[in-house]
Amino acid sequence: MSRNAQDLIRFVLRRLIQSLPILLGIATINFLFVNLAPGDAADVLAGEAGAASPEFMAALRERYGLDQPFYVQFLVYMGKLLTFDLGYSFRFSRPVTELLLGTLGPTLLLMSTAILFACSMGVFLGVLAARCVNRWPDYLISVGALIAYATPVFWLGLMMIVLFSVKLGWLPSSGMQTIGAGYTGWRKIGDVALHLIMPATVLGMYLTAFQVRLIRASMLEIGEQDFVTTARSKGLSEQTIAYRHVLRNAILPMVTMVGLQVGAILGGSVLIETVFAWPGLGRLAYNAVFQRDLNLLLGLLFLCSIMVVVTNILTEVAYRLIDPRIPLK
């Protein structure tokens, strides 16, 4: 194994260990929520069973350790978290971890497509705006970004359904694949891709707006540096200069932006998956809200936080891969 790769692995491990206190903090807050919220799991179960005698409630509390002192419950909770046991969803009658892992895949697919879309769209529009600075394409793009910041994503999703599914009939309005079609192989991939277009575009909208502004600004800033003048004097076309010389130097802030926005994208996916009936974590969250399933919601919050931590570590690794001069902190 090369030295570089070893460094990278050591760095990732160190960062993972450094994030443990944060995850511990989040777990503590989770625990406080469970205990601050009115009613406990025994109330929920008793409500499910209809009327319950005080003896039955006491037995339930004993069985789930709810009669133990506060700190004992806290330690038990933490011990369970270490083995990634996030408790039991009484509404779905399945362990929370199992439910979460079952829906993680579609969400990751949706999020990565949205991020990919936002970055490529951001580069394209940002470069365009910078090359037409203070002319109408630039103004149009700036106004578009301003409106994108102000648009509620879930509403935009609904409006796109009206236009592209109801009126034009081009795109499917819900789900991840055509139910009952039984496609396999490439047909199946194409089918999923078709279902992915609208939710991924809408979910990536904020990030696209951020990236456009960022790329435009860094293109303008870097475009004045000496090496660009050199490239221009060599007779390279503006297209080549923009994409081969300037853009390379604007990639790092782009990666940073993805890291900063990943939490917002996760939050957005709760709304977007609800709108498009995408079978992922977000829709699970909506069902959990609908059924007041607190255990499941807290598990979700914890998993989402882990995803943010992992993404932040990945962005730092990406820095290193993009620019080997950057030291791993």
Partner 1 sequence: MISRNSLLGRFGRHYPAVAGITLLAAVTAMALLAPVLFPQGPWRMVGRPQLWPGADPRFPLGTDILGRDLLACLFYGARVSLLIGLSATLAATLVGTMIGAAAGFFGGKVDRWLMGFTEIFQTTPPFVLAVVVVAAFTPSLTSIIIAISLVSWPPLARLVRAQFLQLMPREFVLAGIVMGMSNTRLIVTQLLPNAITPIIVSSSLMIASAILLEAGLAFLGLGDPNAMSWGYMIGVGREVLRTDWYITTIPGLAVLLAVLAINLVGEGLNDALNPRSRNR
* Residue 268 makes contact with partner 1 by CB under 8 A: yes
Smallest distance from partner 1 to CB 308, Å: 5
Nearer to partner 1 (CB atom), residue 255 or residue 288: 288
Closest approach of partner 1 to the CB of residue 36, in Å: 7
CB of 101 to partner 1, least distance (A): 17
154 binds partner 1 (CB under 8 A): yes
Q: Which of residues 9, 16, 20, 29 is near partner 1 by CB under 8 A?
A: 29
Tokens representing 124? Answer: 């394209």
Per CB under 8 A, 171 contacts partner 1: no
For the record, the structure tokens of 134 come out as 């203070």
| Cβ distance to partner 1 smaller for residue 241 or 303 | 303
Nearest distance in Å: CB 38, partner 1: 7
Residue with Cβ nearer partner 1 (301 or 318): 301
Does 317 engage in binding with partner 1 (CB under 8 A)?
Answer: no
Residue 95 or 259 with smaller CB distance to partner 1: 259
129 near partner 1, judged by CB under 8 A: no
Question: Applying CB under 8 A, which of residues 26, 42, 128, 176 lies at the interface with partner 1?
Answer: 26
Instruction: Build a one-symbol-per-residue string for 103-122: x at contacts with partner 1 by CB under 8 A, - elsewhere.
Output: --------------------
How far apart are CB 100 and partner 1 at their closest, in Å? 13
Contacts (CB under 8 A) with partner 1, residues 272-301: 274-275, 285-286, 288-290, 292, 294, 297-298, 300-301
Q: Nearer to partner 1 by C-beta: 161 or 176?
A: 161
